[in-house]
Amino acid sequence: MENAIVKLRGYKDGLHLIIKPKVSLKEVEEAIHELINGMNQPLEGTSVHIDMSTTPLTSADLMELETHLTEKYNLNVSGVNLIDDNEESPIIAAPAVHIIPHCLPTDNQQDYGHAEIVRQTIRSGQTTSSLTGSIIIYGDVNPGGEVVASGDIIVLGTLRGNAHAGANGRLSSVIMAMELVPLQLQIGSYVNRPPIGQKPRGYPEIARIGAENIIIVEEFIKF
Amino acid sequence: MGKVIVITSGKGGVGKTTSTANLGTALAMIGKTVVIIDADVGLRNLDVVMGLESRVVFTSMDVIEKRCDLDKALVKDRRVEDLMLLAASQRNRKDDIKPEQMFDICERLREEYDFILVDSPAGIEQGFHNAAAGAEEAIIITTPDVSAIRDADRIIGLLQNQNIDPISLILNRLSPTLVKKGNMISKNDVLDILNIDLLGVVPEDEGVIASTNRGVPLVHNEQSPGAEAYMRIARRMTGQRVPIPEMREDNFFSNILNWFSRK
């Protein structure tokens, strides 16, 4: 069983469907079929978390897999963990990625060079947004506070709340903060949250969309 | 001209009423003239904490509806000179009072008194807006809990929108022992998030419960660490420079706690 293409494991946060790296979507689907048919108990209606490698499955494959699991086996995919098997990769925060459908029109080629400067801390319950460019904040964004920009978000303080860059669909947008310990990050229609209990690292960090459409967070050195 | 200060927190149960009662009493003991206003219409309890329950005849509602003069509605404290209480009506609801009416009462009181402390209800609705209406300054009370800090942060944002300045912080119920064990958020972490001036730190003190139930504010008991903290805060409010002592493990208060936990 150790070498099986897919494994089902129960962890603290629920069932995890673990997919072996370097297999094709077709193999995965066959293996899932075998696994689920060979089980004594029905799985219908339960939630599973997918743990998979970043290669070679693409996000399109992932979406297809989700649809497959939902339609064929009536399983509810509660989240996806992408495990990176390449150690040199810049992924620091193990991302829990939830792909949500585009809710806003796609990039309409606005001038993202325009930036709005906010000279205050964004506190719980406060929202600051700019749908015509980027936002620079001279202060913190506290838990419960929210920043939304169609361009980039730069926080010259600690980002502890939510930030949504590229809100019109511009996926090249970035989120940067002197200390990046957000509740949630969103770039375009991709959402990511850091692992629970993450401590500030003590250096500036930048979040952007990397390969496979995952939001990656790395030490900020230059844009 | 006196100062009107709203004492608020967002979250309930963090010590707004206790702090209002103690700071009001402490300021009066220093020799200031003080009015404490209960703005928690419909759920009043500042009179109970002050032990003045039986003396309340008129409330702020009676003043607003012109059933009595403002002077007549002020209840004199039993123990300290120059400390007055303006109680809230228990029969009415928070939206029966308008912010302008509260503002009017505060404006009239500040002509005669040095400090007007307004005890705000929990929440961010009408009651909070009424309490803040006449205030030029605010004191935020929070405990070192994530939920209380989150609500305090929300309240600070709302007060800043109303141009209330300065807004200062009292960190209530801090236990140095628990902080040291890593089980409580430290003073510096709270300040890091809220980013406002610290007016004082009040240690966790069991004496508060007894004093509340007896209707005698803690500051009357000079031995208690909580009373000392409130006295220091009151002095700071009058413009004196009183340093905030670093609470260490080996102070009187935690020695007692240690002594208990060793047993």
Contact between B89 and B61 (Cβ < 8 Å): yes
Total structural domains within chain B:
1
ipTM given for this complex: 0.77
Domains of chain A: 6-89 (3.30.750.50), 115-219 (2.160.20.70)
Q: How confident is the model at residue A110 (pLDDT cuts 50, 70, 90)?
A: low
pLDDT reported for residue A68: 82
Q: By CA distance, what is A139's nearest residue in B? A: B195
Output the CA angle B191-A123-B189, nearest 5 degrees.
20
- Is A124 near chain B, with CB under 8 Å? yes
Which residues in chain A have Cβ-Cβ distances shorter than 8 Å to B195? 121, 139-140
Contact between A80 and A48 (Cβ < 8 Å): no
Q: For the segment A145-166, what is each residue's pLDDT rounded down to a tens digit?
A: 999 999 999 999 999 999 999 9
Cis peptide before A56 (omega within 30 of 0): yes
Q: For the segment B122-163, what is each residue's pLDDT rounded down to a tens digit?
A: 999 999 999 999 999 999 999 999 999 999 999 999 999 999
8 Å CB contact of B153 and A144: yes
- B29 DSSP 8-state letter: H
Region B49-77: mean pLDDT is: 95
Most A CBs within 10 A among B151, B195, B196, B197, hence the mutation to make, goes to: B195
A65-74, A136-145, A198-207, B239-248: least confident range: A65-74
The range of the structural domain enclosing residue B10 comes to: 3-262
Q: What's the mean pLDDT when you consider all of chain B? A: 93
pLDDT reported for residue A53: 67
Could you give the strand order of the β-sheet that contains B167-174, starting from the edge strand earlier in sequence? B74-76, B83-86, B34-38, B115-119, B3-8, B137-142, B167-174, B197-203
What is the C-alpha separation between B115 and B5, in angstroms, rounded?
A: 7
* CATH number, position B96: 3.40.50.300
- Tokens 């969309």 — which residue? A209
8 Å CB contact of B154 and A143: no
What is the C-alpha separation between B256 and B209, in angstroms, rounded?
A: 17
**Of A29, A26, A8, A32, the residue nearest A18 (C-alpha):** A8
Residue A25 one-letter amino acid: L
Which residues in chain B have Cβ-Cβ distances shorter than 8 Å to A143? 150, 153, 193
Q: How confident is the model at residue A25 (pLDDT cuts 50, 70, 90)?
A: confident
Region B46-69: mean pLDDT is: 95
* Ramachandran region, residue A88 (left: φ > 0; alpha: ψ -120 to 50; beta: rest): alpha
pLDDT reported for residue A111: 57
Q: For the segment B156-213, what is each residue's pLDDT rounded down to a tens digit?
A: 999 999 999 999 999 999 998 898 888 899 999 999 999 999 999 999 999 999 999 9
Region B88-99: mean pLDDT is: 93
pLDDT exceeds cutoff 50 at A100: no
Q: How confident is the model at residue A194 (pLDDT cuts 50, 70, 90)?
A: confident
Contacts with B30 (C-beta within 8 Å, 6 or more apart), sequence order: B234, B235, B238
pLDDT reported for residue A102: 38
b (16+ CB within 10 A) / e for A85-108: eeeeeebebebbbbeeeeeeeebe
b (16+ CB within 10 A) / e for B54-77: eebebbbbbbbeeeeebeebbbeb
Which residues in chain A have Cβ-Cβ distances shorter than 8 Å to B157? 123-126
